[in-house]
Amino acid sequence: MKGLLGAAGAVALVLSVAMPVSAQAGEKAMGNIAHGRAIFQNGKGDDVPACAGCHGVDGLGSDDMGTPRLAYQVDTYILKQLEDFASGKRTDNTMFQMNDIAKGLTPSDRRDLAAYVHSLKTPFMGSNLDELRANDVAVGEPYKGEALVNFGDVSRGISACKSCHSFNGRSAGRMYPAIGGQRYVYLKHELEAWREGATGSREDSARYNDVRAQMRKVAAHLTDDDIINVAAYLTGAKPVNPANPREPKRM
pLDDT at 16: 30
Which is nearest to 29 in space by CA: 123, 120, 98, 106? 120
The pTM of the full predicted model, rounded to 2 decimals, is 0.87
pLDDT at 23: 41
The pLDDT tens digits for 180-222 are 999 999 999 999 999 999 998 888 899 999 999 999 999 999 9
Report which of residues 231 and 121 the model is more confident about.
231
Same topology between domain 12-119 and domain 129-235: yes
Instruction: List all residues 6 or more positions away from 250 whose beta carbon is below 8 Å from its beta carbon.
Output: 20, 21, 22, 27, 74, 171, 173, 174
pLDDT at 111: 98
- The mean predicted confidence, pLDDT, of the chain is 88
Q: Per CATH, is 12-119 categorized as 1.10.760.10?
A: yes
Which is nearest to 237 in space by CA: 165, 191, 182? 182
pLDDT of 86 strictly over 90? yes
- SS3 assignment, position 165: helix
CATH topology of domain 129-235: Cytochrome Bc1 Complex; Chain D, domain 2 (1.10.760)
Distances (CA, A) of 233 to 106, 133, 173: 37, 15, 22
Report which of residues 247 and 164 the model is more confident about.
164
Q: Hey, where are the domains in the chain? A: 12-119, 129-235
Cα dihedral: 76, 77, 78, 79 (round 10)? 50
The pLDDT tens digits for 4-62 are 333 333 323 333 333 333 344 457 899 999 999 999 999 999 999 999 999 999 999 99
Distances (CA, A) of 68 to 54, 182, 199, 236: 9, 7, 24, 14
Report which of residues 179 and 4 the model is more confident about.
179
Give the angle subtended at the CA of 132 by the CAs of 124 and 61, to the nearest 5°.
40
Instruction: List all residues 6 or more positions away from 133 whose beta carbon is below 8 Å from its beta carbon.
Output: 139
Name the pLDDT band for 247 (thresholds 50, 70, 90): low
Asked if 240 and 246 count as a contact pair (C-beta separation under 8 A), the reply is yes
Name the pLDDT band for 172 (thresholds 50, 70, 90): confident
Can you tell me the distance from the alpha carbon of 74 to that of 72, in angstroms, rounded to the nearest whole number? 7
pLDDT at 173: 78
